[in-house]
Amino acid sequence: MGVGAEEVVWGGRTLGETPAKVHRMANPPAVPGAAALERMMDFDLSEEQRLVRRTVREFAEKEIHPHVERYEAEERYPTELIAKLPPMGLMGPMIPERFGGSFSDVLTYGVICEELARIDWVVASVVSVSNSLLASSILKAGTEAQQERWLPKIASGETLCSACLTEPGGGTDLGNLKTTATRVDGGWRLTGTKVFISHAAHAGLFFVVASIDVSKKHKGVTAFLLDPKGESAEGLTIGEFPMRTLKRDNLAEVHFENCFVPDEGLLGEPGGGFPILGAALDTGRFSVAARCIGQAQRCIDLAVPYASEREAFGQSIGQFQMIQEKIANMICRTEAARALVYRLGRMKDAGVARASLESSMAKLTASQAAVENALDAIQIHGGYGLSTEYEVGRLLLEAKSLEFGEGTSELHKKIIAETALGLRKQ
Ligand SMILES: Cc1cc2nc3c(=O)[nH]c(=O)nc-3n(C[C@H](O)[C@H](O)[C@H](O)COP(=O)(O)OP(=O)(O)OC[C@H]3O[C@@H](n4cnc5c(N)ncnc54)[C@H](O)[C@@H]3O)c2cc1C
């Protein structure tokens, strides 16, 4: 019996109604084979990790999902949804308990990012930027005072974070920054522009990279922690960055004009920012890859029930081999990506400090899976795939954006191939 059968009731609704009604369900109904997929997804996770997955999934479906489309339509940053994360311990999964965080292991952090991203790009991004780029950098390179000042506020949700890396001249070549940092009495003055900055207008902490000497390229790169609402508010302009997608993230262009950062805002050594950035991106690639498998999974979760229910030529479209091929491809590429992402998480849990090759493999494979799954899911939905009444169309551009963030696909292919050819050290 397919889910389109008249007598199947799910969530108080009778299925087999017009497709336009099906989309309003937070959880599409399980089809008979769904349990087998869940078994694969949980393969080799500990009991605690499975519990975290179940809890976060339930939370995201119930508390976040019903509101996502509305925030996007209203181009409104989901402050109220983000406020639901701290009581669940979801704002600090990479922050140790002594700073108010909920860190247990890196793989669990990945599962959290995966499950949040399955439902909402922005909420998952808040967690991933705060933990991978900010908190992890502060833990690795920050002074005790910096850790005490910022980590509890990040974990409690009091302070949201933003990472200001990309410049108008390019985001891939981060050793070639144009934003400058000039030494002055008691601190530094930053001048330059950053673009595509997520969460900037809502953040209370910026991670900024600037150069103390542009001629030195990556050896001039210096990392700063900047308080955009306090001591560094003067000389800082946060403007709207025009985007075709993710309007609810309010992406920003951030301009620094002689913006003052006190000495306490220097993260690491002057000119020592590039390795800090590298380590941050290494963890960032893990969490973005985890987010990608969440999005890829969501496409499966939406396409499979639709294919079971939608009929053409007197039978469900799921009975056509060309639709089955798409579903098979979606599942295989998601599982392949998940295996790479989980392996990377386990490597980090085993104490491997930098895993550039594995991070690139996981990020490349997972982001491509997210994009290809969105394309297949749209195709399975036919014209409805591009209707605003269905989620899959939105997922495509959101997935595509993950092919840029934390390194483009081209950059990751370059890293993988150069490592194989002995042109780059791990
Ligand atoms: C939704 C969204 C959110 C974002 N959020 C943030 C944020 O919060 N903070 C932030 O700092 N940035 C953010 N970014 C920016 C993102 O990190 C950059 O888009 C990315 O780093 C690429 O930089 P670019 O767009 O300037 O492309 P470019 O660096 O100009 O690259 C253009 C093209 O050339 C290719 N290319 C470059 N170098 C090579 C090479 N050596 N070999 C082969 N191909 C190459 C690239 O892969 C790409 O296809 C965000 C972007 C998006 C879309």
pLDDT at 27: 58
| Three-state SS at 188 | strand
Ligand 1 atom closest to 171 (CA): 23
Q: What is the DSSP letter of 160?
A: -
Which CATH code is given to the segment(s) 9-18+282-420?
A: 1.20.140.10
What are the Cα distances from residue 357, in Å, to 371, 408, 416?
Answer: 21, 14, 6
Tokens 């599409």 belong to: 28
Q: Which residue has the tokens 């025009």?
A: 242
pLDDT on residue 354? 83
Question: pTM to 2 decimals?
Answer: 0.93
> Closest Cα to residue 343, out of 45, 101, 27?
45
Pocket test for ligand 1, best of 122, 129, 166, 226 (most atoms within 8 A of CB): 166
Low-confidence ranges of the chain (pLDDT < 70): 1-30, 32, 35-37, 39-41, 43, 426
Coil, helix or strand at residue 173: coil
User: Does domain 41-160 bear CATH number 3.90.1150.10?
Assistant: no
**Mean pLDDT score across all residues of the chain:** 92
State residue 32's pLDDT score.
67
DSSP 96-138: -GGGT-----HHHHHHHHHHHHHH-HHHHHHHHIIIIIIIHHH
CA of 104 to the centre of ligand 1 (A): 32
**The pLDDT of residue 29:** 62
Residues in contact with 35: Cβ distance below 8 Å, sequence separation at least 6, in sequence order: none
pLDDT in tens, 259-287: 999 999 999 999 999 999 999 999 999 99
**Residue 406 annotated to the active site:** yes
Structural domain spans, the chain: 9-18+282-420, 41-160, 162-274
Q: What is the pLDDT of residue 265?
A: 98
- Point out the catalytic residue in the list 72, 372, 403, 406: 406
CA of 32 to the centre of ligand 1 (A): 41
Cα 4 to ligand 1 centre (Å):
43
* CATH fold label, 162-274: Butyryl-CoA Dehydrogenase, subunit A; domain 2 (2.40.110)
Torsion sign (Cα): 298, 301, 302, 307: positive
The two tokens of residue 394 are 């939105």
User: In 3D, which of 265, 154, 164 has the Cα closest to residue 208?
Assistant: 164
Alpha-carbon distance 92 to 143, whole Å?
A: 19
